[in-house]
Amino acid sequence: MKILVFLFLTLFVAPPKTVYDFKIKTIDGKNLSLQKYKGKKLLIVNTASKCGYTPQYAELEKLSQQYKGKLVVIGFPANNFGGQEPGANLTIKEFCKKNYGVTFPLAEKVSVKGEDTAELFKFLTAAANPDFTGDIKWNFEKFLIDENGNLIRRYRSAVKPLSPEITKHL
């Protein structure tokens, strides 16, 4: 049976070509097709609540507000680095709202590294771009997606959301 399913998926299910081919679950457990954001840029960020980079939530929110209408920031909480996102989805959502006023979309907690890596992050870490490919090294790495769903830039954690390195592409 497993072989039949594998063959079916291999032969009849096309691999994703853009970010818009993915569906995610929000932090509230709702299904969300990234197709909803077609025509806008996306900044996809793996986040954590107990990291030295956690204050970037404030800049991510400011970026989201400043470029509303043409950019959507989406946070993906992950506990892959130093156990810095130990909380459940509701705890994470409340933390982000209370401490940083986050209104941009948050996904449910995912894995961004290792054998259980979420499919979206497998796609993003392998996607061609002028910066680099490969595993995410730490929390708050950023993936800038164009209006057609293609990865155009990738940034390591230390690059701040409001830095010219990011905003010049918006």
Helix axis angle, 56-66 relative to 89-100, nearest 10°?
A: 70
- Closest Cα partner for 27 from 81, 86, 105, 79? 105
Locate tokens 């996306």: which residue?
Answer: 42
Kindly list the catalytic residues: 51
For 11, the token pair is 């032969």
Q: How far is CA 12 from CA 36, 111, 150, in A?
A: 24, 27, 23
Angle at 61 between CA 118 and CA 72, to 5 degrees: 55
> CA-CA distance, 170 to 167, in Å (whole number)?
5
Angle at 23 between CA 18 and CA 26, to 5 degrees: 130
